[in-house]
Amino acid sequence: MLMRSLAVWFVSAAVMLGLAVFTQDMPVSLDALAAALLLAAPLGMSTWLGALGTAGRLEWPNGSFVVLGLWSTTMAPSFVVDNPDARFIYDYSDDALWAGRWLFFLWCFVFLLVRGRVESKRVVVEPGFLDFTATVLPSLLAVMVLVATGQFSDYNRGAAGAYEAGGLISVMLSIAQLMVLPPILLMVALRAPGRRVRQLATVLFVLSWALLFLSGGRRPVLYAAGTCFFVARATGLRFKPSVALLVAAVLPLFFFLMFTYRNMLSASGTATASLSEYVNVAVDSTSQVVAANEAARAEAVSGFATNTKERFWYGPQFFAVVDLWLDEGVEFQGTFLAGIIASLPSWLFPEKNEWATPYLLEEFLASTGRLPRTDLGPSAWLQFLFELGIPGIILGAVLWGWIARQAEARTSKTRSLQEQLFWTGVLAALGASEQTADAFVVGVRHLAALLVCTLALGFVLKRLFGSVPMDRAQVPPNHNNVVALPPLRFDEPPSA
């Protein structure tokens, strides 16, 4: 176990350093190497606690390791190095640089302490056809509505414009939950007793990745892949290094093709109101533009690299808040109220979004003068530090670790596929590093609403089509089409 933990620690540090060098255009230095070893240490500690299986057997990662891995993959590259280009946008000192690294390490360390040692428990859910239909159908119907209204891609807002809270589009965006569909479909494909249900789930599992591609969002793809690893562990699927390496190799290519597609979709002005029109744009961008045109391919690679480097500037945002904390301390600003207000039911509080706007963290950060009014991606640890300082970092990490522990415990105990959908979505939301605490509250509220919908639909389907299950122990399957006769009784002669 010790050797595995050390191997994970050093390999993770090397990956972080490599990502930092590529995405931030920075040379390797002893300072960057030390930062990479510090920030990769929680992954080694998680391995020591059993996140990758026992000493005798290597397994797929558990939920807490997936969460840590998502944080490290998206955040650590910009934490490892100090990009001078980011200093033109974000204002922070050298002291804030190392203080921010240690505070992020503290968050991950406390998270692991609360999560505790991992016990290998398998899920017990065995979804039937009705449960499978009730769980998946609402999301698929929501996707159809989003496609028809031109809202399926986040990068094609021109046709539909803004949407009101509680309106049809807002509700459909809450129900779709595309990043949770692949892991749930994988769980059905591995755990459903019926062969046809498993086959249907496998087909939909493949199609769900196509839907994620057409949606144009890279973060949902990353979260879906991470939670699929967790589902593989929870269902007892055998770990294969070749599969893990294949996923790691395919994801960058997947992201590159998605970036090219969404740019072409945004620039085409096509009134994409059907799935076939989205597919046509995707085919044109990935085959005719990228594969057939060398100049277009070079331009797409350059644009993808530039966009990726800028999107990794999460560390400088945190360092700017750390610098603010070092200079002025903290006072409770009230940004946690944004999520609470936004979670109120729209039919009772139609103006809730307007009420929540003054409490948004982005507005407070911009008002400090240290961060610009740009596409910010603040994290939960940034918000807890901004509100409460170091006690906030500890409190937030304790809360996040407790939620991860409860989510993993419930997924191993519940027999409800609908509840599996909810807790898997919670784990994916925890791993979403570019998400504040109030955004997490709103996301859980959406998952809870979807849980209620799927439970209600499942109840209706079972009332309409359900039947009393057959006792397989008493009535064996009839493979030879032989007519079953009543059993003979030996206390009276058989009738003629």
HEC profile for the chain? CHHHHHHHHHHHHHHHHHHHHHHHCCCCCHHHHHHHHHHHHHHHHHHHCCCCCCCCCCCCCCHHHHHHHHHHHHHHHHHHCCCHHHHHCCCCCHHHHHHHHHHHHHHHHHHHHHHCCCCCCCCCCCCCHHHHHHHHHHHHHHHHHHHHCCCCCCCCCCCCCCCCCCCHHHHHHHHHCCCCHHHHHHHHHHHCCCHHHHHHHHHHHHHHHHHHHHHCCHHHHHHHHHHHHHHHHHCCCCCCHHHHHHHHHHHHHHHHHHHHHHHHHHHHCCCCCCHHHHHHHHHHHHHHHCCCCHHHHHHHHHHHHHHHHHHCCHHHHHHHHHHHHHHHCCCCCCCHHHHHHHCCCCCCCCCHHHHHHHHCHHHHHHHCCCCCCCCCCCCHHHHHHHHHCHHHHHHHHHHHHHHHHHHHHHHHHCCCHHHHHHHHHHHHHHHCCCCCHHHHHHHHHHHHHHHHHHHHHHHHHHHHHCCCCCCCCCCCCCCCCCCCCCCCCCCCCCCC
Token pair, residue 489, equals 């009784």
- Taking CA atoms, 330 is separated from 191, 326, 390, 398, in Å, by 49, 9, 10, 20
Q: CA–CA separation, 307 vs 364, rounded Å?
A: 26
Nearest alpha carbon to residue 61 among 247, 249, 314: 247
Q: CA–CA separation, 80 vs 299, rounded Å?
A: 28
* 8 A C-beta contact, residue 78 and residue 24: yes
Q: CA–CA separation, 123 vs 186, rounded Å?
A: 13
Quote the pLDDT of residue 297.
67
Backbone angles phi, psi at 485, to 5 degrees: -100, 150
* 8 A C-beta contact, residue 136 and residue 175: no
**Over the stretch 77-128, which tens digit does the pLDDT of each residue have?**
788 888 787 778 888 888 998 999 999 999 999 999 998 887 777 888 888 8
**Over the stretch 130-148, which tens digit does the pLDDT of each residue have?**
999 999 999 888 888 877 7
Quote the pLDDT of residue 111.
95
**Over the stretch 373-392, which tens digit does the pLDDT of each residue have?**
766 678 899 999 999 999 99
Distance of CA 37 to the CA centre of its chain: 25
Quote the pLDDT of residue 360.
82
Nearest alpha carbon to residue 12 among 53, 62, 70: 70
Largest CA distance in the chain: 100
Q: Chunked in runs of 10, what are the mean pLDDT values of the chain (496 residues)?
A: 86 87 77 90 90 81 90 82 80 89 94 85 88 90 79 50 56 79 92 90 92 80 88 88 85 80 67 67 68 68 71 82 88 80 76 79 81 75 91 94 91 90 91 84 87 91 68 41 42 41
Calculate helix-pair angle for 417-431, 181-191, nearest 10 degrees: 140
Distance of CA 314 to the CA centre of its chain: 17
